[in-house]
């Protein structure tokens, strides 16, 4: 994998300037939701990998292109500055099913719009009912992905009823992903939102064609934060938060300077009322404050000098894209995270750590 030395062009104890970051895993949703989610993402990130698990899912290049146009229209309608609007570049993803035609991969590769294909095991997470039931059904697609060096993005969990929810990632790595990489040794794979020491070890053990994204919630929290003193629905995401030892392994990986690990927020908007009910939706909404949360996590282990590589360089290198040539500055100054954000139909979005104070805030031209 190519490397690039992080710049950290202006680092002091209270100020950090880094290359503009990208988000290699985000959920923007669709329709009226885009009026909120798109400017929240575009205020910080240049490129974003847009998840395709809409209703209905994004299965073809034509559908992906149309979705991208809706995102760009929401961006045009926002009050962001022209410079932010011009910099924002949504990269699209196709939703893999048992019936995906391998010809779609050639179309996607030629489109200049579709960046990757997403594997959701059927039933693994939000809007995954049409996901893959057996990877044997997808061999022609996987051969095409390998041919075109187009990444397969993996939601790494099995969905068998006899596997404990806290063990689903480790089981997936052993029973699904390891055999897959033996069959397709040159396939580019991103193990999304990893949550365990097992996943860190798996990614480290494989070649440069295997990488992983890590979310802010999995760096900052473990399952005690979600469960002790009462269930806290805004910490509930899939894959679910794990033990503290797994959290520590993720922090070590993210701050290691290893280019196999890079930023992917998995920011997932659900209205407050659907999070705070008897069967709350899985997902943490972090897009507006994500880079501040990552800075907090890195500072806690004395690794702010490693943030730029993780947030701004390593993902671009893995995807074979140029590193951004703009910068952002983070200031060490208290920032109160809003209790909620306005959302469509007079609803609200409650962000991760709503109402608390984060140590770092972003200073950008809007």
Residue 233: CA count within 13 A, CB half-sphere: 15
- Asked if residues 73 and 33 have their Cβ atoms less than 8 Å apart, the reply is no
- Asked if residues 64 and 58 have their Cβ atoms less than 8 Å apart, the reply is yes
Q: Which of 79, 167, 266, 345 is catalytic?
A: 266
Q: From CA 340, how far away is CA 23, in angstroms rounded?
A: 22
Q: From CA 64, how far away is CA 100, in angstroms rounded?
A: 14
- CB within 8 Å of 86: residues ≥ 6 apart: none
Render the burial of 304-329: b for 16+ CB within 10 Å, e for the rest: bebbbbbbbbbbbbbbeeebbeebbe
Q: From CA 97, how far away is CA 130, in angstroms rounded?
A: 6
And the tokens for 253?
């990986």
Active site annotation includes 266: yes
Binding residues for substrate: 27-29, 53, 155, 238, 270, 282
Q: What angle do the packed helices 139-148 and 103-111 form, to 10 degrees?
A: 30
**CB-count burial class (<10 Å; 0-12, 13-18, 19+) for 122:** middle
Paired sense of beta strands 210-214 and 341-342, if any? unpaired
From 298, 290, 273, 271, select the one nearest 362 (Cα to Cα).
Answer: 290
Q: From CA 4, how far away is CA 252, in angstroms rounded?
A: 20
From 27, 26, 28, 8, select the one nearest 18 (Cα to Cα).
Answer: 8
And the tokens for 260?
């196999």
Which residues are annotated as catalytic? 266
């Amino acid at each position: 994998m190519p490397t690039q030395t992080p710049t950290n062009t202006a680092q002091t104890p209270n100020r950090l300037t880094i290359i503009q970051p990208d988000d290699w895993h985000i959920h923007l949703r669709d329709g009226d939701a885009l009026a909120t989610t798109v400017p929240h993402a575009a205020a910080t990130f240049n490129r974003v990998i847009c998840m395709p698990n809409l209703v209905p899912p994004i299965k073809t290049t034509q559908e992906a292109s149309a979705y991208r146009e809706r995102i760009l229209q929401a961006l045009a309608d926002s009050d962001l500055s022209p410079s932010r609007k011009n910099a924002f570049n949504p990269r699209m993803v196709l939703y893999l099913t048992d019936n995906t035609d391998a010809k779609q991969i050639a179309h996607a590769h030629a489109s200049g719009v579709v960046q990757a294909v997403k594997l959701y095991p059927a039933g693994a997470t939000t809007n995954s009912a049409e996901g893959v039931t057996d990877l044997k059904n997808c061999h022609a697609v996987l051969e095409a992905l390998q041919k075109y060096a187009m990444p397969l993005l993996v939601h790494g969990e099995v969905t068998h009823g006899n596997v404990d929810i806290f063990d689903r990632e480790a089981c997936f790595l052993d029973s699904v992903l390891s055999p897959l990489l033996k069959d397709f040794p040159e396939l580019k794979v991103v193990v999304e939102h990893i949550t365990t020491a097992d996943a860190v070890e798996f990614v480290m053990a494989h070649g440069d064609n295997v990488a992983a994204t890590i979310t802010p919630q999995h760096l900052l929290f473990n399952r005690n934060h979600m469960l002790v003193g009462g269930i806290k629905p805004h910490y509930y995401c899939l894959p679910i938060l794990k033990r503290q030892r797994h959290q520590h392994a993720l922090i070590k990986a993210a701050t290691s300077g290893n280019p196999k690990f890079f930023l992917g927020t998995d920011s997932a908007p659900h209205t407050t009322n659907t999070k705070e009910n008897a069967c709350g939706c899985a997902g943490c909404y972090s897009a507006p404050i994500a880079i501040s949360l990552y800075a907090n996590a890195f500072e806690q282990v004395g690794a702010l000098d490693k943030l730029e590589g993780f947030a701004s360089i390593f993902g671009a290198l893995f995807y074979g894209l140029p590193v951004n040539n703009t910068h952002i500055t983070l200031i060490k100054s208290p920032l109160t995270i809003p209790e909620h954000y306005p959302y469509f139909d007079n609803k609200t979005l409650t962000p991760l750590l709503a109402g608390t104070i984060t140590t770092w805030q972003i200073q950008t031209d809007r």
